[in-house]
Amino acid sequence: MLTAGRWQDRVGGRLVRAEQTARVRIARDELRRIRELTRSIDALHRDLAALVAAIARPLLDERGCGVLTAAKLIGEIAGIQRLASDAKLARLAGSAPIPASSGRTIRHRLDRGGNRQLNCALHRFAVTKGRLDADTAACLARKQAEGKSRREALRCLKRHLARRVWRLFQPRPDLGADALSPPPARPAPTVTIHCNTPYGRFSLT
């Protein structure tokens, strides 16, 4: 609450009018530090937003994906070219479904492997999108109507979002080369096998 400027002004005004006891002086000092940190955080957020927009603008256009979530996805994926398909991204994020069916009950359980930071970013994306996007909320409701729990419906949504993120990260001709392209790989060293000895021994150089 105190990160909002209007609340900082209101609290600061009350502290100025109050009797200047030790407690009030400490509160004013804490409020001053909160203001300084808020300004620093806002400046860093603007810088981060500019960097994310330069790298993955389509990701920011997605409802429910803010600057911090997009930046986390970019950092943890570390180059979409190393993932040949959305299935590999889902496996890396630990959002690929693991069959846990029993008899006629078809279920999938949580994958506790993978990159948990990337999984956390996808989870935030899913929860926020489910709250802000009407179509996503309807999809979650439909999954729950099929008998899935809220948690299982979110897992399905996270798998879908992994596919969506992978597609958004693909290079687009109208945007030029992909900024997430990794440096070119070094050529593999050449190995020569010599079999010149009469006893069939060989050496590698």
Predicted confidence band of residue 2 (pLDDT cuts 50, 70, 90) = low
Output the average pLDDT for the chain.
80
pTM of the model: 0.69
Report pLDDT for 202: 46
Q: Which residues are CB-neighbours of 115 under 8 A, at least 6 positions away? A: 76, 92, 93, 94
Q: Where are the alpha helices (DSSP H) in the chain?
A: 5-17, 22-60, 67-77, 86-93, 116-132, 134-145, 150-168
Over residues 188-199, the pLDDT tens digits come to 555 554 444 455
**Contact of 39 with 152, CB cutoff 8 Å:** no
Query: Is the model's pLDDT at 133 over the cut of 60?
Result: yes
Distance from C-alpha of 157 to C-alpha of 93, rounded to nearest angstrom: 13
User: Where is 198: in which H helix or E strand?
Assistant: none
Bigger pLDDT: 3 vs 63: 63
Alpha carbon distance 126, 131 (integer Å): 9
What is the predicted pLDDT for the residue at 122?
92
Task: Find where tokens 């690929």 sit.
Answer: 96
Residues in the chain: 205
- Given this model, what pLDDT does residue 69 score? 92
Query: By three-state DSSP, how is residue 96 classified?
Result: coil
pLDDT at 173: 61
Q: Which tokens hold the place of 43?
A: 């400046």
pLDDT interval class at 183 (50, 70, 90): very low
Domain locations along the chain? 1-55, 62-182
For residue 150, pLDDT over 50 is answered with yes
pLDDT of residue 162: 92
DSSP 57: H
For 197, which DSSP code? S
For residue 186, pLDDT over 60 is answered with no
Determine contact, residues 64/109, Cβ cutoff 8 Å.
no
Lowest mean pLDDT among 27-41, 78-92, 170-184: 170-184
Helix (H) or strand (E) holding 193: strand 193-194
Q: Which two tokens stand for residue 78?
A: 């570390």
In sequence order, what are the beta bridge partners of 203?
A: 194
Q: Which residues contact 90 (CB under 8 A, 6 or more apart)?
A: 96, 159, 162, 163
Q: For residue 38, give the nearest of 17, 9, 64 by alpha carbon.
A: 9
